[in-house]
A = this chain, B = another copy of it.
Amino acid sequence: MTPERTAKLIQTLNRRQPDLTVITDQVHKPRNIAALVRTCDAVGIPNIHTVTPKEGYQFNGTTRGSDRWVKTQNHASCDDAIAMVKSQGMKVYAAHFSERAVDYRSVDYSQPCAILMGAEKHGVSEAAAEQADEHILIPMMGMVGSLNVSTAAGIILVEAQNQRLQAGMYEQSRLSESEHRDTLFEWSFP
């Protein structure tokens, strides 16, 4: 491990956002999960939550190695995933087409929050949508009814990043000392 490499790992850890996460509600295409994980690494999200799709999936997309930098916790149900992030003090923003949806730029991503993304065909399940604090939408001007889920996630997460950059949240480490130390160890000696 060169000193430059160690410095890069530490810089990345110093920018990690432990109070920002994503829940995927039965997203089942590996390539969509892969592109999403890659965006999460780029935005500084250390952990995400997936929910086993009824239809099943195998994890085999091109994460460009980003699954090494982002931990994925799988849950049997979306209820479980939502309960966990709520117990960690996070709000849940569901990317969901509904009457109560607001523009995705109008919510505050600098507070602890989880972005809930829906499945390719069925979107966010109704039971999960009900538990969300907000429903958010990216305005669409065309004929097609929805964006690709990993594209939509990227657009929302980079808005979150922009807000957190504005708020200076990437300027000093936000991990606990032990998380910082343990992750540095893991990353250094895989």
Copies of the polypeptide in the assembly: 2
**Cα distance A142–B15 when bound, in Å?**
8
Given contacts A150-B151, A151-B151, contact A69 B143 (CB under 8 A): yes
A31 at the interface (CB under 8 A from B): yes
The reply to whether B161 and A39 form a contact with Cβ atoms under 8 Å apart is no
Q: Which of A41-49, A88-96, A123-131 lies at the interface?
A: A41-49
A12 at the interface (CB under 8 A from B): yes
Q: Which of A79-87, A106-114, A133-141 lies at the interface?
A: A133-141
* Residues in B neighbouring A146, C-beta threshold 8 A: 64
Q: How far is the CB of A19 from chain B (nearest CB, A)?
A: 15
* Residues in B neighbouring A64, C-beta threshold 8 A: 144-146
* Residues in B neighbouring A151, C-beta threshold 8 A: 35, 38-39, 150-151, 154
**Cα distance A41–B140 when bound, in Å?**
9
* Residues in B neighbouring A161, C-beta threshold 8 A: 139, 141
Q: How far is the CB of A171 from chain B (nearest CB, A)?
A: 11
A66 at the interface (CB under 8 A from B): yes
Which residue from chain B places its CB closest to the CB of A13 in the assembled complex?
B143
A158 at the interface (CB under 8 A from B): yes
Give which listed residue, B43, B66, B140, B147, contacts A141 with CB less than 8 A.
B43
How many residues of chain A are within 8 Å of chain B by beta carbon?
A: 41
The reply to whether B39 and A147 form a contact with Cβ atoms under 8 Å apart is yes
The reply to whether A165 and B139 form a contact with Cβ atoms under 8 Å apart is yes
Q: How far is the CB of A72 from chain B (nearest CB, A)?
A: 15
**Cα distance A147–B63 when bound, in Å?**
10
* Residues in B neighbouring A8, C-beta threshold 8 A: 143
A190 at the interface (CB under 8 A from B): no
A6 at the interface (CB under 8 A from B): no
The reply to whether A38 and B158 form a contact with Cβ atoms under 8 Å apart is no
Q: How far is the CB of A172 from chain B (nearest CB, A)?
A: 13
